[in-house]
Chain A
């Protein structure tokens, strides 16, 4: 079975540009979450979507937005890129809205975004 897939794997953008990152969850998973992992740090929660509705938002500016499609895939959009947005962006899926011991998150390999 395919795991969580993310595209692209690597991306280089210039300050001020816009970027769209894509994620396909594990088949049957209806919840998708996005995390930002800056080099040397643990991942930080950005968004969670469940059944196409936003269920949670971390402490990120409005330049960050996301959506979930009817097939449960998801996009993360970042506008007006800053150098500090350079990071590994991880997508994760789970069966239920609330991740727990019986519905843990499964992560993709991430998209490495470099802003120059």
Chain B
């Protein structure tokens, strides 16, 4: 079984300040982990993906995520928020069981204040 918990439904930051979106996962197997972003009325865009090669993962648009097995966490960060970062962010896990369905968190709505 696999599950994802995004700890905040909404996060509001000022432009130019750091962003932290929190995600905890549960998986019976060694998971594949992803962060996806969804802008209004758009599909999902892959931000970054966890590979076992490194615990700190760099993605597009300056985003990073750190895999911490001991804490079962995969938090998303960005040093300086930009207005264009305002969107819905989803933490996603795939334990690679039988069905190959990804399990999405409920999403975190990121609001950027000018």
Residue numbers of A with Cβ under 8 A of B are 4, 31, 33, 35, 41-45, 48, 55-58, 90, 92, 97-102, 104-110, 112
Q: Is the Cβ of B49 less than 8 Å from the Cβ of A45? A: no
- Please report the number of residue pairs spanning A and B whose Cβ atoms sit closer than 8 angstroms: 72
Query: Chain A residues near B22 (CB, 8 Å)?
Result: none
Q: Is the Cβ of B44 less than 8 Å from the Cβ of A90? A: yes
Given contacts A43-B102, A56-B99, 11 further A-B contacts (CB under 8 A): A41-B106, A42-B104, A45-B101, A48-B99, A56-B98, A98-B100, A100-B32, A104-B46, A104-B49, A105-B102, A108-B43
Residue numbers of B with Cβ under 8 A of A are 32-34, 36, 41-46, 49-52, 90, 94, 96, 98-107
Name A106's contact: one of B46, B105, B106 (CB within 8 Å): B46
Q: Is the Cβ of B43 less than 8 Å from the Cβ of A107? A: yes
